[in-house]
Chain A
Amino acid sequence: MLSVGTFVLISIIKIVIALIVLLTAVAYTVWLERKVVGHIQNRWGPTRVGPFGLLQPLADGVKFIFKEDLTSPHVYRPLYIAAPMISLIFALTSIAVIPVGNWVTVGGIHTPLQITDVNMGLLIVLGITSMGVYGVALAGWSSNSKYSLLGGLRASAQMVSYEVSLGLSLIGVLIMAGSFSLRDIVDAQGGAYWHVIPRWNIFQGQIFAFFIYLTAAFAETNRIPFDLPEAETELVAGYHTEYSAMKFAMFFMAEYANMITVACLASLLFLGGWHGPLFGPAWLQAILPLFWFALRIFGFLFVYIWVRGTLPRFRYDQLMAFGWKVLLPLAIANLMITGLIVALKS
């Protein structure tokens, strides 16, 4: 039993650590992206600032702060300033219910490796990410520029369209685990069949759901091949055309933070979370789950970047047709078939 004060203090410490790790991860995902896309296109990517350009994110951050922060008179000021904040706040908050490992005991205090362990975990993540659309829509509207408005509208329509398939693709996992708690979902995937094939959801018939989720997640985070909202050849920069300096960077940070959240969710729901082989001394066994989890997230981010370096962009009508006419029926078929099999077995 902890007192209220200790509990709040522990929460604040955990939140600060989570935010620092998340923001560092965001900065280095940008670096990784520039580096990997550079190599895919037969270039070097950043090399000048620090060894392998490792200090590039820092330099970018400093540059963003010193850049001119333009607020044109034609924008609708309160919402113009609020929009990037809304985007960033919801992108950072969605990490709050994501567990990164088991319970640990530090200095006699038993606490989960998670900011808060709620049983509605999955619902809360979905709710918070669904609020992210406001940042985009309001940015497009308040900029009062044609490109921004078109970009904002496209982005909101795209995000809501793919949110449906995203939500439906998770139902198979819910059927397997029988709980909304992300921790329970991971625990349900422990162990292996014949000591070889792990009992991850992806190996339990949820492989279609996994690909539906992945596709919908690419569209939700406005990434290539679904980056229509900021299609630079037609819309300049989409909803953030009129933004500069740190406000522009905030949309950027929100996008990458969302990518990391999506990667965390994919690992937790389909790839067994932090499960992996444990060996060696006690301290190594304590650290390995974190390492396996980070490895999966890294893998997802790499796929994100790889896809960006490889695929061209969809056309808008193709995008909407794909979301509604292909992904949605597939997601419904997948959940009904999973439901039938589970109902027959039980």
Chain B
Amino acid sequence: MPDNYFARYLPLLIHFLLAGALASAIVLLSWLIGYRKPTRAKLSPYECGMVPVGDARQRFSVKFYLVAMMFIIFDVEAVFLYPWAVVLRQLKMFGFWEMLVYVGIVLVGFFYVWKKGVLDWGKATSARRGEV
């Protein structure tokens, strides 16, 4: 049985379902047993005791999108590196040069992003200048 390829992933599914059941049970138990006495002040969004101002969903910095984009690009790079790492001993120096070219090209992009200031958050450089 355990030498059956697909069956090895069956316990993973069972584990996922059991963890899901556990999480649902916790939420349900808390909902059933928990004491409930809502008041208006308790139910308002927390803003340090002030009356909430405006809507929570506002525009935010485009940097967050850029970070997510960078993440995807380097994630793809990493995924190409995983199988390479596993067979590097067979590929020998050829594999190394091959990957050097690949990583080099991606690093050109990384350098460009760095110089464009995408990785700078806040005004760290100007703040340092003003700090004395």
Contact of B56 among A12, A66, A146 (CB under 8 A): A146
The stretch from A147-155, A219-227, A275-283 touching chain B is A147-155
- Interface hub of B9, B27, B70, B114 (most chain A Cβ within 10 A): B27
Is A250 in contact with B14, judged by CB distance below 8 angstroms? no
Cβ of A335 and Cβ of B44 under 8 Å apart? Answer: no
Looking at chain B's contact residues, the main secondary structure is: helix
Complex contact A4–B34 (CB within 8 A): no
Q: How far is the CA of A160 from the CA of B124 in the complex (A)?
A: 22
Q: Is the CB of B47 within 8 A of A146?
A: yes
Closest to B46 in A: A241
B70 touches A324 (CB 8 A): yes
**Chain A neighbourhood of B107, CB < 8 A:** 332
Q: CB-nearest residue of chain A relative to B78?
A: A167
- A195 interface residue (CB < 8 Å to B): no
Q: Given B9, B26, B31, B121, which contacts A320 in the complex, CB threshold below 8 Å?
A: B121
Interface residue? B68 (CB, 8 A): yes
Count: A-B pairs, CB below 8 Å: 230
**A interface SS class:** helix
Q: Does B122 contact A (CB under 8 A)?
A: yes
- Contact call A164/B56, Cβ cutoff below 8 A: no
The answer to the question of A39 belonging to the interface, with a C-beta cut-off of 8 Å to chain B, is no
Q: Do the beta carbons of B56 and A145 come within 8 Å of each other? A: yes
Number of A residues near B (Cβ < 8 Å) is: 88
Shortest B67–chain A CB gap in Å is 5
Distance in Å: Cβ of A172 to nearest Cβ of chain B: 8
Most B CB atoms within 10 A — which of A66, A97, A146, A318? A146
Are the CB atoms of A316 and B122 closer together than 8 Å? yes
- From A15, A74, A118, A157, B18 is in contact (CB under 8 Å) with A15
CB of B116 closer than 8 Å to a CB of A: no
A-B pairs with beta carbons under 8 Å apart, 17 shown: A15-B18, A65-B29, A69-B30, A72-B45, A88-B26, A96-B12, A115-B15, A116-B15, A153-B60, A161-B67, A164-B75, A168-B74, A175-B85, A180-B82, A236-B48, A249-B26, A340-B96
